Amino acid sequence: MKRKILAAAGIIAVAAAALTGCSGGAEAGDSCTNKIVNKDATQVSVWAWYPGFEKVVDLFNKNHDDVQICWTNAGQGNDEYTKFSTAIEAGSGAPDVIMLESEVLSSFAIRDALVDLSKYGADEVKGDYTEGAWKDVSSGSAVNAIPVDGGPMGMIYRQDILDEYGIAAPTTWDEFAAAAEQLKAAGAPGVLANFPPNGRAFTQALFAQAGSVPFDYDSAKPLEIGIDVNDQASKDVLEYWTALTDSGAVAVDEAFTADYNTKLVDGSYAIYLAAAWGPGYLQGLEGADEGAVWRAAPLPQWDAANPVQVNWGGSAFAVTSQAKDKKAAALVAKEIFGTEEAWKIGIEDAALFPLWKPILESDYFRDLEYPFFGGQQINKDVFLGAASGYSGFTFSPFQNYAYDQLQEELTAVVVDKSKDSATALDDLQASLEKYATEQGFELK
């Protein structure tokens, strides 16, 4: 019932492309992209796209005699999800363990595609993660995955540009708005920041910082959901940004395009509101370090005396329902990033922000100096506090659809200017309620 409803809904597109890589319950290493050290051991197939992941796999296989990983990069993001969806519908072809972004876990869990890891020792490692990280991979008493990396939010800024115009790095959203107008009034060639109409998860995080709780969902009652996306907090935040974009003090460029990347590095934006993976993304852009002085600071707050930390992005390892040896697969999900050595690879080769507390809270990670930021210890100054203060988020089992609808409404408000903020979010509420009921959900 659940699976049929949501497969028909088209929550995640299904392609006819043939699956690649290891099938569930890998039995031989010849289809792996890595070396199998002990061919007599149980093999667990893994799909993941982390940069430098082959080193992590090799380290795991070297240190485990009883279990070996057979790794395939089946594509990044939606490319992998499409192949996984095809395997779900076919009833075969999925890996034993799969890397998934936290926001899509419920979308796959409701299709009976994931194993509840609370039955396979997840509680043994729960204490190794922050409250927020664990909530993001859980639904009620079920644990859909083991956290890997996250995106606690902060603010990256051009110190040279702010200094030129006599602007201090804003600590509150009131200061941020004043700085945006000051930069505009001074005739600066760029603007303070960008509010991307396709920044769905970004905007949702900003809404959450103001107190929005858009979804009430527990996988124990999988076809019941509460939806509250037109709350006053969200309307206030969207109106705040609408005022800044209407005045021209903030840009409305779509994120993650070639034009956007150019503007990130050429001074068109003095501030980059970013997740903890943002520094790695920024440093990967050509020309980012040419004549620029980059620094990082905490995300501005609505109430400086009562800061609220939010998260944008993050991934986890889930065990699929097609895994032949679920106990072995769960061990891989729990232990693959369960050592300091593995995490140093993740941090130094892939710029991942760890959610595993033994490394997250280590002197090594806290005191890392980043030459790109003038030697600033950005983890200690910004992202560690954001990670520890983040309390988690509840995603819907049709999160991608909700994001698509949010993007339409954001575009209507800040680009087309065909709706005001309140109307747009009221329309979003109506569209999501309609969609949910059409797919067989009961509204709380």
pLDDT band at 315 (very low <50, low <70, confident <90, very high): very high
* Count of domains observed in the chain: 2
pLDDT at res. 134: 98
Residue 72 near residue 45 (C-beta atoms within 8 A): yes
Are 287 and 320 found together in one domain? no
pLDDT score of 87 more than 50 = yes
The whole-number average pLDDT for the span 188-207 is 99
pLDDT score of 350 more than 50 = yes
pLDDT at res. 250: 99
Are 216 and 287 found together in one domain? yes
Pick the more confident residue, 217 or 24. Answer: 217
Q: For the stretch 177-200, what's the b/e string if a residue is b when 16 or more beta carbons lie within 10 angstroms of its beta carbon?
A: bebbbbbbeeebebbbbbbbbbbb
Which residue matches tokens 């899509």? Answer: 104
Look at residue 128 and tell me if it is in a domain.
Answer: yes
pLDDT score of 371 more than 80 = yes
Are 54 and 194 found together in one domain? no
Amino acid identity of 22?
A: C
pLDDT at res. 8: 38
pLDDT at res. 381: 99
The whole-number average pLDDT for the span 381-408 is 98
pLDDT at res. 26: 45
Amino acid identity of 242?
A: T
Q: How far is CA 25 from CA 21, 76, 94, 120, 406, in A?
A: 12, 22, 9, 17, 39
pLDDT band at 17 (very low <50, low <70, confident <90, very high): very low
pLDDT score of 127 more than 70 = yes
User: Among 343, 347, 357, which residue's Cα sits nearest to residue 130?
Assistant: 357
The whole-number average pLDDT for the span 212-236 is 98
pLDDT score of 6 more than 60 = no
The whole-number average pLDDT for the span 293-308 is 98
Pick the more confident residue, 293 or 8. Answer: 293
DSSP bridge partners of 45: 70
pLDDT at res. 21: 34
Could you tell me the CATH number of the domain that includes residue 13?
3.40.190.10
Are 290 and 413 found together in one domain? yes
Look at residue 389 and tell me if it is in a domain.
Answer: no
pLDDT at res. 31: 75
Domain assignment of residue 272, given as a range: 152-310+394-443
**For residues 280 and 284, what is the distance between their CA atoms, to the nearest angstrom?**
6
Look at residue 256 and tell me if it is in a domain.
Answer: yes
User: Among 329, 290, 305, which residue's Cα sits nearest to residue 69?
Assistant: 329
pLDDT at res. 9: 39
Look at residue 386 and tell me if it is in a domain.
Answer: no
Contacts of 389 (CB under 8 A, 6+ apart): 307, 308, 309
Are 23 and 104 found together in one domain? yes
Are 304 and 319 found together in one domain? no
